[in-house]
């Protein structure tokens, strides 16, 4: 599904995410996957939030859902709630690439709404470095 997102084949990614969710409704990643595709389609913001919330209900420590919700909250202007949602995720000492990337994207959404250009530059640099590491 992530390859389909990278290729901007969003309809195919959504079909795949929906199928994953249908087959594994008890798995937090399945709900977060659907939310991620909808978020990339810039549609269904209420459903994006609901899917991220469902994933978080299934696993309160699921960083991808927590950061996804923080992005949703920041985009609607609720920066305090976005920061509060993200705070527990930042308590960890180690992150998977995808977890750290989604945290940075949430921090970027918060900084964009707050107009924090200095912070945006640092986040952009961190994202660029992370992508460079991923390319190996």
Please tell me the predicted confidence (pLDDT) of residue 131: 86
How many Cα atoms occupy the beta-carbon half-sphere of 78 within 13 Å?
11
Q: Where are the alpha helices (DSSP H) in the chain?
A: 2-6, 10-23, 28-40, 45-58, 63-75, 79-86, 97-114, 117-135
| 9 — pLDDT class (breaks 50, 70, 90) | confident
| 87 — pLDDT class (breaks 50, 70, 90) | very high
Domains in the chain, ordered, with CATH? 2-135 (1.25.40.10)
Per-residue H/E/C for 41-69: CCCCHHHHHHHHHHHHHHCCCCHHHHHHH
| 55 — pLDDT class (breaks 50, 70, 90) | very high
Please tell me the predicted confidence (pLDDT) of residue 109: 93
Please tell me the predicted confidence (pLDDT) of residue 38: 82
| 70 — pLDDT class (breaks 50, 70, 90) | very high
Q: Is the pLDDT of residue 44 over 80?
A: no
Cβ atoms of 14 and 34 within 8 Å: the answer is yes
Distance CA 108, CA 117 (A): 10
| 64 — pLDDT class (breaks 50, 70, 90) | very high
**Whole-Å CA distances, 43 to 35, 37, 60:** 10, 9, 25
């Amino acid at each position: 599904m992530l390859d389909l997102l990278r290729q901007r084949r969003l309809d195919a990614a959504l079909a795949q995410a929906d199928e994953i969710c249908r087959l594994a409704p008890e798995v937090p990643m399945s709900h977060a996957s659907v939310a991620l595709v909808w978020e990339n389609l810039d549609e269904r913001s209420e459903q994006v939030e609901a899917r991220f919330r469902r994933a978080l209900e299934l696993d309160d420590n699921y960083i991808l859902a927590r950061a996804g919700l923080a992005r949703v909250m920041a985009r609607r202007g609720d920066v305090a709630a976005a920061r509060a949602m993200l705070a527990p995720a930042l308590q960890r000492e180690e992150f998977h690439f995808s977890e750290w990337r989604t945290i940075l994207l949430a921090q970027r959404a918060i900084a964009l709404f707050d107009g924090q250009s200095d912070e945006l530059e640092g986040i952009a640099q961190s994202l660029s470095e992370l992508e460079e590491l991923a390319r190996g």
